[in-house]
Structures are given as structure tokens and as C-alpha cells.
């Protein structure tokens, strides 16, 4: 019996040729594809270390090809490690990972962390007396002190400022020991507390009714809404004299979070319900085992699959932006965005459930001469309903979380209010919203898990 004739070992210098000579065409194609990709990445970034990785990949595959040509066991893992090193190095650089940033910029996060320990949950009914001091933003001339007298006297170190400027406020004639809150009001009437160290600044007048406090002028308008060069806006610094006149009660932020969370859950519920009603019948058209009988049904199958895949590839956030432009700001836009994405996601899942049913009942009914609709009604639907319900409940759980994000682009719900509080640096209200979101998501996750456990 003649010995098996092996290709020359010199082919190992070009691994693709060696793999091809050994009949391993897929390996040859993979080697060519990976080599071109690695060379392209190294040429793009231009780092010597990446070229070294490409060289190690080449040497590793030459070694593997030589072993295969010698009749030994393949050993591709060194080359694979070199290729992965190149891929991860490029990925690390492209994503601009900076491990020092969380520590260097920790001060930016401190107000949020502090606020999480002091959420705005309770408040006390109060009686307020408000004194307003106009502040020109930015300065169009040299800053001058401004004094306001309305029974009491308040003197601000500068009647004009811009965000970040240091200001000093002095007062006389205020009631001793009564808390004084400082608020900043922008030209459209939005208020925000003056903060110091991430906490709302609150002062008290001494026994003689005097106080003195320093603070920084906050950024009260979003970037892009500043006045044109040479013009200014009139803001107001408000001094609230606050007297407590009752016991504790839920704060406005807590009540608003409760209301908006209900709205968020409703958005997710309606979006999921409508999506199920549309996706369930469409899923039968995207099941290969039901639509593979003839050319027209196969075309419908491929069309539905393509529709589901295309729509699923678009993030709900993008749909949210589209529907906000289309139907306007509010919950309706958010509901439509989640519904469209859910139709595609559930349609894909439902069709896969249909494809994995037991074929026995289908074949039995088909053998009796039942129509296609009768087969679906009596052989398919009873098998898929429990998993359809399970996926629908799980999708509702997902949509509740997604509706929070949709709100950031104007899709209503808690996300819309949360984005406003973040923009206004209302950290305690942000903390209240975060806690509310976490509690609702945890509750729905528990309910979803229980429902799916009982059904499936």
C-alpha cells in the first residue's frame, strides 16, 4: 500500500497555500480574511506594537501549518492569541479607555453621590417671603454692587455676573434663626437652588438679623441659549425666608416621581400590548415550518424576516426622536417608539417559538385534510401561547426600562423630567427619581419572573 503523499513543508511559509493543499479550504479563507483585517487595523492605527502582533500572527500560523504538513496535531492557539491581542489593543485605543478618569474627575460625581443619601422625599408646609435681586448675565459693564430694600435689606456684591463668578450676599433685618434659602431664576422662570459642595445652600441670620454668605453664580441656561454677543439676560437671585407651619408630607418631587413612574409604566404597558397584538399574527408568516411549502409563502417568509431584522436593528431611542418630530413631545411619541421596536423584537421571538413546536399535531391534522388556518388554530396556537405570554411579560419589563431612556428625547414619562432635573443640577430630585426608577424596575422584574415561572 503506497504511503500517503503530503504537500511539501515549504508550503507552510504561506499558510493559506498549505491549508488549501491539505484540503482545508475554510481554514485558508479564514487565514486570508484575518490576515487582511489585522494588516488593515495595524495600517490604520500605525503603531509598531500592532505590526508586531501581525508578525506574531503570521509566525503562529506558519508554525501551525508546518505541524499540519508534518502530520502533527494542529497548534493554532499562539496565533489566535496574537490576533486577539491586536483586536483588543485597537479596541482599547478606539474606545479611549482612561482608567485614571474616574479618580481624577471624582469631584464631578460627588454631588450625585451626596444627593443619593439625601433624596427629596419629604417636605414641610412652609410660609415663604421672597426678596428678588436682579442680576444681569453676562456683564456688559464693570460690575457694581446692588442693594434691594423691602422691609429687610439685601446687598449683592455685583449686579451682573456669568456662570462660575464668585458673589457675596449680605443681609440685614432678617428674622433671627429662620432658615433662608437662595434660589436662582433664569429668564424663562425656571428656578434652581444655589448649591455649595453639592448641597443646597441654606443660611440663617444671626441674633442681630444679619448674615453674609459667598457662592458661585450657577449655569442657569443650557449651552446654546446664551444671549448673543453684546447682549445680556436678566436673571434673579431670590432670598426665601422660610417658616415651617405644619408636619411632614410627601415632597413635590416625590409626588411627581410617583405620577411620572405611573405614566412610564403605562407607556410600556400600552406599547407592549399593541405590539403583541400585531406581532403575534405576523410571527406565523415568519415561521419557516409553516411558510416553506411553496414559492409565494417562502417569499412572504423572507420578507417578514427581513422586516423584523431591519426594524430590530434601529434602536428605540432613534424611533423616539423620529416620533417626537412626527407627533410632538409627550408620552404618545414614546409609546409609538417602543411599540414599533417591540413588534419586530417580539415577532422574531414568536416566530422562533413557532418553528420549534412539536410537528406531530401539525402532521396529524394535515393528514386529515385540515386547512392551513385550522392547522394553526388547533395544532400550533395551543403549543405557543404559554411562551408567547412569557415573552410578552418579559418585553413589558424591558419596555419599562427603555421608556425611561425614551423620555430623555421628549418621549414623556419619568425620563423627560429626570433630564430636566439633571440639566438644572437638582441633585436631590435626581436622586428621588433614580430611587423611584430602581424600585419600580425591581418590582416589575420580580413580577415578570414570577409570571414566567408559573407559565413556562
Three-class SS string for 415-456? HHHHHHHHHCCCHHHHHHHHHHHHHHHHHHHHHHHHHHHHHC
198, with CB counted inside 10 A (0-12, 13-18, 19+), is middle
pTM of the predicted model, to two decimals?
0.64
> Which of 59-73, 106-120, 392-406, 425-439 is the most confident on average?
59-73
Q: Mean pLDDT lowest for which of 38-47, 84-93, 277-286, 397-406?
A: 397-406
Among 378, 373, 393, smallest CA distance to 445 is for 393
Over range 133-147, report the average pLDDT: 89
**Distance, CA of 436 to CA of 447 (rounded, Å):** 17
pLDDT tens for each residue of 372-385: 788 888 888 888 88
Residue 154's φ and ψ, nearest 5 degrees, are -130, 135
**Distance, CA of 451 to CA of 456 (rounded, Å):** 9
Residue 323 pLDDT exceeds 60: yes
Do you find a cis peptide bond into 3, omega within 30 degrees of 0?
Answer: no
What's the first-to-final CA gap in the chain, in angstroms? 61
Residue 1 pLDDT exceeds 50: no
pLDDT tens for each residue of 207-241: 888 999 999 888 877 666 677 888 888 899 999 98
pLDDT tens for each residue of 244-263: 888 888 888 899 888 888 88
295, with CB counted inside 10 A (0-12, 13-18, 19+), is exposed
Over range 332-356, report the average pLDDT: 91
Dihedral (Cα; 360, 364, 369, 370), 10-degree rounding: -60
Band of the pLDDT at 157, cuts 50, 70, 90?
Answer: very high
Structure confidence at residue 73 (pLDDT):
92
Residue 2 pLDDT exceeds 70: no
Three-class SS string for 120-144? CCEECCEEEEEEEEEEEECCCCCCC
**Distance, CA of 316 to CA of 384 (rounded, Å):** 27
Structure confidence at residue 442 (pLDDT):
87
Structure confidence at residue 456 (pLDDT):
61
Structure confidence at residue 340 (pLDDT):
94
pLDDT tens for each residue of 83-98: 999 999 999 988 888 8
**Distance, CA of 39 to CA of 361 (rounded, Å):** 55
Mean pLDDT score across all residues of the chain: 86
Structure confidence at residue 451 (pLDDT):
77
Beta strand 126-137 pairing with 195-196: unpaired
**Distance, CA of 298 to CA of 290 (rounded, Å):** 9
Per the structure block, which three cell numbers stand in for 230? 453684546
Per the structure block, which three cell numbers stand in for 291? 411558510
Task: Report the DSSP beta bridge partners of residue 156.
Answer: 146, 169
Over range 124-148, report the average pLDDT: 88
Structure confidence at residue 455 (pLDDT):
66
Per the structure block, which three cell numbers stand in for 220? 442657569
Amino acid at each position: 500500500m503506497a504511503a500517503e503523499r503530503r504537500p511539501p513543508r515549504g508550503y507552510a511559509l504561506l499558510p493559506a497555500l498549505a491549508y488549501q493543499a491539505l484540503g482545508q479550504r475554510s481554514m485558508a479563507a479564514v487565514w486570508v480574511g484575518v490576515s487582511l483585517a489585522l494588516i488593515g487595523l495595524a495600517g490604520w492605527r500605525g503603531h509598531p506594537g500592532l505590526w508586531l502582533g501581525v508578525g506574531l500572527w503570521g509566525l503562529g500560523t506558519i508554525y501551525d501549518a508546518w505541524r499540519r504538513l508534518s502530520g502533527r496535531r494542529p497548534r493554532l492557539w499562539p496565533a489566535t492569541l496574537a490576533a486577539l491581542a491586536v483586536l483588543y489593543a485597537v479596541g482599547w485605543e478606539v474606545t479611549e479607555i482612561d482608567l485614571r478618569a474616574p479618580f481624577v474627575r471624582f469631584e464631578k460625581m460627588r454631588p450625585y453621590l451626596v444627593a443619593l443619601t439625601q433624596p427629596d422625599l419629604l417636605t414641610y408646609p412652609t410660609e415663604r417671603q421672597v426678596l428678588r435681586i436682579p442680576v444681569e448675565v453676562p456683564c456688559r459693564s464693570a460690575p457694581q454692587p446692588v442693594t434691594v430694600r423691602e422691609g429687610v435689606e439685601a446687598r449683592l456684591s455685583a449686579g451682573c455676573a456669568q456662570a462660575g463668578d464668585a458673589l457675596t450676599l449680605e443681609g440685614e433685618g432678617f428674622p433671627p434663626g429662620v432658615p433662608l434659602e437662595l434660589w436662582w431664576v433664569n429668564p424663562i422662570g425656571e428656578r434652581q437652588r444655589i448649591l455649595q459642595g453639592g448641597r443646597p445652600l441654606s443660611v440663617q441670620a444671626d441674633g442681630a438679623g444679619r448674615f453674609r454668605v459667598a457662592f458661585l453664580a450657577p449655569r442657569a441656561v443650557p449651552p446654546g441659549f446664551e444671549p448673543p454677543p453684546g447682549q445680556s439676560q436678566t436673571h434673579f437671585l431670590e432670598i426665601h425666608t422660610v417658616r415651617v407651619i405644619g408636619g411632614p408630607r410627601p415632597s413635590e418631587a416625590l409626588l411627581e416621581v410617583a405620577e411620572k413612574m405611573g405614566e412610564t409604566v403605562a407607556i410600556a404597558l400600552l406599547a407592549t400590548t399593541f405590539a403583541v397584538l400585531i406581532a403575534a399574527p405576523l410571527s406565523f408568516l415568519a415561521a419557516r415550518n409553516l411558510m416553506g411549502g411553496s414559492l409565494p409563502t417562502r417569499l412572504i417568509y423572507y420578507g417578514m424576516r427581513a422586516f423584523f431584522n431591519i426594524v430590530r436593528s434601529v434602536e428605540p431611542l432613534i424611533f423616539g426622536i423620529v416620533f417626537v418630530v412626527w407627533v410632538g413631545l409627550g408620552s404618545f411619541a414614546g409609546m409609538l417608539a417602543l411599540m414599533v421596536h417591540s413588534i419586530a423584537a417580539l415577532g422574531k421571538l414568536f416566530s422562533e417559538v413557532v418553528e420549534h413546536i412539536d410537528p406531530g399535531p401539525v402532521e396529524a391534522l394535515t393528514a386529515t385534510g385540515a386547512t392551513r388556518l385550522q392547522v394553526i388554530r388547533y395544532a400550533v396556537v395551543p403549543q405557543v401561547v404559554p411562551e408567547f405570554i412569557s415573552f410578552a411579560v418579559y418585553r413589558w419589563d424591558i419596555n419599562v426600562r427603555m421608556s425611561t431612556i425614551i423620555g430623555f428625547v421628549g418621549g414623556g414619562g419619568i425620563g423627560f423630567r429626570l433630564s430636566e432635573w439633571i440639566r438644572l443640577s437638582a441633585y436631590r430630585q435626581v436622586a428621588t427619581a433614580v430611587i423611584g426608577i430602581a424600585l419600580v424596575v425591581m418590582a416589575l422584574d420580580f413580577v415578570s419572573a414570577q409570571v414566567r415561572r408559573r407559565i413556562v
